[in-house]
């Protein structure tokens, strides 16, 4: 039987669930942003492009591998054969983690394709959901009301999901136990093409934990340097409410020492504050579903905190609803 399903959140997990569910059901996705993708996002400025959220992704699950290798996505998914290192005691140690993929020409190209054919209401900030005669009602911050949904899926960071779901939801406490961490993303545009000896660099004992030459990725302009810098988790948590100009100054100073150039004199600089960037205490549930209330929750934090974890979490929710 065809059901009416509302999904809040147009990140990978929400898009994944919707792609599966539209085969049999009426699905609408609500998202407060101007575009789809969540942290699979790209910021543009002049001739610079910055993947300021997710930097790359791996593929270990066969279901995700099948998607990436499909004819639909073969033109946007490319390997990032980067010079990847850890820096430890001033020595560069090869980062031998999993095979890295990126989306080209920018990270959100993947999610744009993933969203093709879906009914998505952007700039729709869902502020309240409630039940009325066993049907879900969705209300947005601008006063719009959408009724008669049989199911609702919250494809959001756990704190945002908690703010919407009823306290009597059977998995409410489990979602509340998850811990997600903030991060500052500093985007630096340099007119000159620099070679730092690395394309991505992980740091310990530094206020910055990750630096990446975004312009080294496939499909990007290589004529100048686009640098993305992420702050360390503990430092971010400590300074999440600090003056953003001060935060930027601190990150620039630390990055200048790492890169051997004066970042403060860069042609372009902008900083973004991610409130829910990573997961320090994820759930191993994969997804959550309350059969009596017909409400579900999914996301990367339900399944290891990775991009493919978000995709699989969405598939899991769709499968439960279809059973």
Query: pLDDT tens digit string along 99-153?
Result: 899 999 989 999 999 999 999 999 999 999 999 999 999 999 999 999 999 999 9
Determine whether 99 is exposed, middle or buried from the number of CB atoms within 10 Å of its CB (0-12, 13-18, 19+): exposed
Least confident segment among 91-95, 96-100, 296-300: 96-100
* Residues 203 and 209 sit within 8 Å (Cβ to Cβ): yes
Check residue 221 and give its pLDDT: 85
Question: Which distant-in-sequence residues (6+ apart) come within 8 Å of 38 by Cβ?
Answer: 9, 10, 11, 12, 53, 111
Which residues are bridge partners to 202 per DSSP? 86, 210
Give the CA diameter of the chain.
64
How many Å apart are CA 86 and CA 191, to the nearest integer? 26
Check residue 184 and give its pLDDT: 98
Using 50, 70 and 90 to split pLDDT, how confident is the model at 277? Answer: very high
> What's the rounded mean pLDDT across residues 53-72?
92
Identify the residue whose tokens are 């073969």.
74
Check residue 97 and give its pLDDT: 74
How many Å apart are CA 73 and CA 69, to the nearest integer? 7
Average predicted confidence (pLDDT) for the chain: 94
* Residues 229 and 185 sit within 8 Å (Cβ to Cβ): yes
Check residue 96 and give its pLDDT: 83
Using 50, 70 and 90 to split pLDDT, how confident is the model at 222? Answer: confident
**CA atoms within a 13 Å half-sphere pointing along the CA-CB vector of 290:** 22
For residue 316, give the H/E element and its range: helix 307-322
Say whether pLDDT at 88 is over 90: no
First to last CA, the chain: 11
Using 50, 70 and 90 to split pLDDT, how confident is the model at 59? Answer: very high
Which residue did the predictor score with more confidence, 200 or 281? 200
How many Å apart are CA 260 and CA 225, to the nearest integer? 14
3-state secondary structure 190-210: ECCCCCCCCCEEEECCCCEEE
How many Å apart are CA 249 and CA 289, to the nearest integer? 44
Backbone angles phi, psi at 111, to 5 degrees: -70, -30
Say whether pLDDT at 312 is over 90: yes
Using 50, 70 and 90 to split pLDDT, how confident is the model at 297? Answer: very high
Which residue did the predictor score with more confidence, 47 or 234? 234
Check residue 109 and give its pLDDT: 92
> What's the rounded mean pLDDT across residues 179-191?
96
Check residue 229 and give its pLDDT: 98
What are the chain's domains? 1-37+115-178+283-323 (3.50.50.60), 41-109+179-281 (3.90.660.10)
Say whether pLDDT at 98 is over 80: no
Lay out the sheet containing 268-281: strands in order across: 91-94, 84-88, 200-203, 208-213, 225-231, 179-190, 268-281
């Amino acid at each position: 039987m065809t059901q009416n399903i509302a999904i809040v959140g147009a990140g990978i997990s929400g898009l994944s669930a919707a792609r599966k569910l539209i085969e049999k059901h009426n699905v609408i996705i609500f998202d407060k942003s101007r575009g789809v993708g969540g942290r699979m996002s790209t910021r543009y400025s002049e001739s610079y492009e910055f993947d300021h959220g997710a930097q790359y992704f791996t593929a270990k699950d066969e279901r995700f591998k099948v998607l990436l290798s499909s004819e639909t996505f073969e033109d946007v998914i490319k390997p990032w054969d980067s010079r990847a290192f850890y820096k430890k005691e001033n020595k560069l140690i090869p980062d031998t983690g999993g095979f890295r993929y990126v989306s080209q020409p920018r990270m959100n190209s993947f999610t744009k394709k993933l969203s093709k054919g879906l009914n998505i209401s952007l700039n729709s900030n869902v502020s309240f959901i409630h039940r009325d005669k066993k049907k879900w009602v969705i209300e947005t911050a601008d006063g719009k009301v959408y009724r008669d949904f049989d199911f609702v899926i919250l494809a959001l960071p756990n704190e945002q999901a908690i703010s919407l779901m009823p306290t009597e939801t059977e998995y409410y406490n489990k979602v509340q136990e998850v811990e997600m961490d903030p991060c500052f993303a500093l985007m630096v545009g340099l007119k000159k093409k620099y070679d730092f000896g690395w394309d991505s660099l992980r740091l310990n004992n530094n206020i910055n934990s990750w630096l990446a030459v975004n312009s080294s990725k496939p499909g990007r302009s290589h004529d100048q340097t686009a640098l993305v810098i992420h702050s360390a988790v503990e430092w971010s948590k400590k300074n999440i409410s600090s003056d953003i100009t001060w935060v930027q100054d601190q990150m620039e100073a630390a990055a200048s020492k790492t890169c051997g150039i004066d970042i403060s004199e860069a042609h372009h600089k902008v900083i973004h504050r991610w409130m829910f960037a990573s997961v320090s205490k994820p759930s191993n549930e994969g997804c959550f579903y309350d059969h009596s209330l017909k409400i579900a929750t999914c996301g990367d934090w339900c399944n290891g905190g990775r991009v493919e974890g978000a995709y699989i979490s969405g598939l899991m929710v769709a499968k439960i609803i279809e059973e």
